[in-house]
Amino acid sequence: MQAKYLTLGKRNQLTLPREVVAEGSVLYRCERMGDGSILLTPQVPVPAAQAYFWTRRWQDGEKKASADIGAGKLRKHVSADALSARLDRKRRR
């Protein structure tokens, strides 16, 4: 794509050309780089009800679970009741 130029408005506002706007994105992360350039990165907002999923603690748990699955550390149960009974036994130990 050919370079596009922006004009800084009276209130320090920029209008992005349609060709460079990420579809559906309304939020951009803005960083000043070491060379003085400005990097705009489109961000996807996370609904508040799903924010827990992106916490470090949850993501660490996801990584551990993926590693366990990859290592074959799985246990199948014939029903939800069987799973519940196993968890109850495990808690009593």
Distances (CA, A) of 72 to 38, 48, 67, 76, 82: 46, 33, 9, 11, 20
Is the pLDDT score of 1 beyond 80? no
> Could you say which DSSP state residue 89 is in?
H
Where are the strands (E) in 1-93, listed by range?
27-32, 38-43
Q: Which residue has the higher pLDDT, 16 or 80?
A: 80
Q: Give residue limits of the domains in the chain.
A: 1-45, 48-92
Whether the CB-CB separation of 4 and 18 falls below 8 Å is answered with no
- pLDDT at residue 19, rounded to an integer: 79
Mean pLDDT score, 28-36: 93
**CATH of the domain spanning 1-45:** 2.10.260
